[in-house]
């Protein structure tokens, strides 16, 4: 029983850290006019410069229309 409680506490701490990290991350992105939706594209472009729009959509498992809109937002 004690192990189960310990495990649940650890899970709760990880959950809190994740949520607080996402809040911080979102606030920092707002300074650049970006949302978390564009950040995944930005990170992929950073990892692999010159990747095509189709390859980016396939890599992230996101439809091509959403990819095009997000990339347009990043360009602007």
Dihedrals phi, psi of 33, to nearest 5 degrees: 70, 25
Where is 51: in which H helix or E strand? none
DSSP type of residue 52 = -
Position 1 confidence tier, pLDDT thresholds 50, 70, 90: low
CA distances from 17 to 20, 25, 51, 54, 74 (A): 5, 12, 32, 34, 28
Q: Where exactly are the structural domains of the chain?
A: 1-31, 33-76
Domain spanning 33-76: CATH 1.10.10: yes
Closest among 16, 42, 62, 63 to 8, alpha carbons compared: 16
What CA–CA distance (Å, rounded) separates 38 from 5? 38
pLDDT tens-digit map of 15-62: 999 999 989 988 998 998 888 788 889 889 999 888 999 999 999 999
């Amino acid at each position: 029983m004690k192990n189960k409680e310990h495990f649940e506490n650890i899970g709760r701490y990880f959950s809190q850290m994740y949520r607080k990290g996402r809040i911080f991350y979102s606030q920092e992105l707002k300074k650049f006019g970006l949302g978390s939706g564009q950040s995944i594209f930005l990170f992929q472009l950073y990892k692999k410069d010159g990747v095509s729009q189709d390859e980016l959509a396939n890599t992230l498992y996101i439809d091509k229309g959403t990819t095009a809109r997000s990339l347009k937002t990043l360009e602007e």
